[in-house]
Structure 1
Amino acid sequence: MRAALYTRVSTAMQVEDGFSLDAQLDRLRAYCASQGWTIAGVYTDEGQSAKTLERTALKQMIYDMTLRKIDVVLVYKLDRLTRSVVNLYELLQTFDRYTVAFRSATEVFDTTSATGRLFITVVAAMAQWERETIAERSREGQIQMTREGRWSGGNRPFGYHYREGQLTINDPEAAVVREIFQRYCSGQGIATILHWLNHPQRLQLAPNGHWRQWGLKYLLRNPLYAGYVRYGYRIKSVANQRYQGKPLIVRGQHAAIVEEATFSQAQALIKQKATTPRRDGTGKFPLTGVLYCGLCGARMTGFTWTRAKGGVNLRRYYVCVEAQHTRLCPMPLLRQEVVEGEVLAELAFQFEKFAALTSNRPLLDHGVQKKQQITALETQLRDVRKRSKRWMDAFESGHINSSELRQRLDGLKMREQEITLQWQTLQTEPSPTERNELKSILSSFHNTWESANIEEKKQLIHSVIDRIELRPGPKTGRIYSAQVTLTFKT
């Protein structure tokens, strides 16, 4: 029989005895030798969880099944393959579809019989039940610790040491925490406090080397600094983390860093600012909402500078939010007229480009060319995967060691990601018909822009552009030029 050897280690288990990749492979090779099987391939997922089937080597193994290269899948233990009952059923159905058996080298599992399939399902169900039971007991333990006034764990809170199960004050960090609350309660906003915390000439102590907006807001809302502990502040959801309505909050055993009255004043200010109506958002900057920093990826917003000297002098700029709030991005202030002028110039260039494409090339030619490019990329992807398979074979034959294998596979994985990105770009490229529609809009864009008000300009930009990436260009005197990259809506 042709056996596929599947091995996996999670990040936390890579150094545990008996679970290393080499130890698993040695056991699997010995098992194949005892059964008289030939090794069809070695499939290794390193540092990946068994809770999902989205694993590179596992998907490659299933692909090879479709090519009828495998007769049996051999693993060290069942939990190397999966820990989920649902995923196990899905895998067994796939194995059955391609007449592939499943064996474990250390457990009595045989999927060739109904009894064997029942047994393996029951064992997997028990494994999932055990994992869920452990998680439930862990939650219960954290709730009980909170009720007793003890911190229930997680990342060490800024301002405290955690030693022998107790939180004790870290004096240098606690001084920063007190200053943050004092500044906020005196009327300073989040942006102003971030400027102080991240100022390059007087950097303050920070949780991860520097302060960000989310971390500062979390600190100001955390009752731990007033001497309380809480559980259930955030809950997991399918899409992201959301705040839980009523977390458990109990007086803690640790010392407070700020007085309770100061913390209460900060919470009242937070609530007051959250209910203050905001401006309608149209402002004087039509590119906001689609304009992003090309240096750090953050959004860009508008900034108006006023100078009263012989009359009011207004200058408007686009500024990176990350640079504005944390000073961690080197993006300079870019003049509004420079940025918007460059966007209009790029739109004019795109209009000429689309006009040439739609008038000088038959629609069929473009479609054929695009299909040929996609086919070529798919051929390159298959070639990269074949090369990965050859390196796995070389490792299985003993020609290279595991470190050399990982080095080779890492390089091929990067190449595969590059090709995949190119393939996805071609798939979403506008068709010639869509180009014609865009051409019609762009042909009248400049005239419409000149006669439109700010709100109409914003609507016009949003109707055709999905994203604008902005980078600073060469500097003339004190003024930077701008470089833009446009992504059109499809």
Structure 2
Amino acid sequence: MKVVLYLRVSTIEQAEEGFSIRAQKTQLLDYCRVNDYEVVEIYIDDGYSAKDTNRPALKQLLKDAEKGQFKAVLVYKLDRFTRSVRDLYDLLGYLSGFGVDFVSKQEKFDTTTAMGRAMIGILGVFAQFERELISERVRMGQEQKVKEGKRHGGRYPYGYDNEGKIIPHEFEVLRRIRHMYMKERMSYKKIAIQLNQEGITRRGYEWRASTVAMTLENPFYAGIIQYGERMANGKYPQRYRDKKIEVIRSIGDHEPVWTQEEYEEHYRLMHMRKGSGYSRKLEYWFTGLLRCGRCGSAMHGRLTTSRKRKDGSIVRTPYYICNRRKDNDTCRMPIFRQVHIEHLVMEYINNLQIDQALKVSEQRKIKKQQANIEKQIQKLKRDLESIKERKKKWQYMFVEELITADILRERLDEENSKEMELQQKLDELQSRERETPAIQNMLVSMADLWPVMNDEEKKRYSTRSLKRFEYIPQKKIQKV
């Protein structure tokens, strides 16, 4: 039978235990002569630990096993091959898949025999036990770290360096992302596009809708250390429910980007927009607003296939379903089309009479506020230009040796702090200025604007204009 020899020794073992490469080779060659084995190759890992399978000669052996050049692997002792029961089980399973047996001289472990093959099953039991034991120990250690307010491993997220200290310009990007999402009502995708167009990357990578969402959803930015995943609708993800694992959270000692109140605020908005899995698109204009008139639960959008066109394409119609009916079928509210709700909402709005005098008064008030905002914006821009000029002067004074490097750093830190504060105020005012036309539009009949709006505008307009309403079958909209 054609066999290959695998020899391994670490420097410590070679010195202390006498497992030299030469000694293993001599013993195995003698064993092959006695058993009439033909040695076709010898693989040697000299100075590599058996704690894992990341060894060059072992990797080459596994690649050659695929070519069918030998029928068995021979080692002097099991721990020469690996010290892990789990790795041994996986390696033997891999070799077996290519018809390669395994023989250990010292333990008389031989998969060419029935007894040897039965040992693989026993190893599988121990491998599973080892995996679960390691997993349990790791979780216990990570839980304890979280309870102490420490991170449980991994890299620090965007905004922090490797030591957990803040990176100012990345912190500003994070705050801006929240502002764009909450104040400007931009979608994840539009935020990503805007940042990418401005050349702002996420540590060398482009922003995507998914990374924007994960950033807003990350509790670490609110000063929270978490092990596991956050609850959604009172339920943990399936993998945690199966194992009955409690998600651990505590307050960390790092500097947060947002307050916990801000985090909860935008997290609720994210959850409302998602609509519990159904309303991930903006076709559902009334998600988060519409309530079941029978049980009071939220109603979420879903797409239902209605018919096929002549060209074979499928027409999918937006519907709404009661959350309790969807979750546990405890409510029998019928599923109904979005256009039906749209009709009732328009009917309700058309019946509202807006006092013209009030409308004119509000328009004048808004114009006055807008003029005041514009004055503040121009002043902030002038102040920012002044800061830039002062920074240049401080640098000039340092070059001319009028001040020391320490004084320069101190003055620049002060100027940068002022600049950051003013820029934040400017961003907020510019956002308010952009929102003013939208406020004016809300004074106009919603029924007049609705037909020319796209899905995103309808969703945004509904969220800003309406608070909450119920639908009761066979009845009109009931305001709450």
State the TM-score, normalizing by the size of structure 2.
Answer: 0.42
Q: Which has the higher contact order (CA 8 A, sep 6+)?
A: 1
Query: TM-score, normalization: structure 1?
Result: 0.41
Higher alpha-carbon Rg? 2
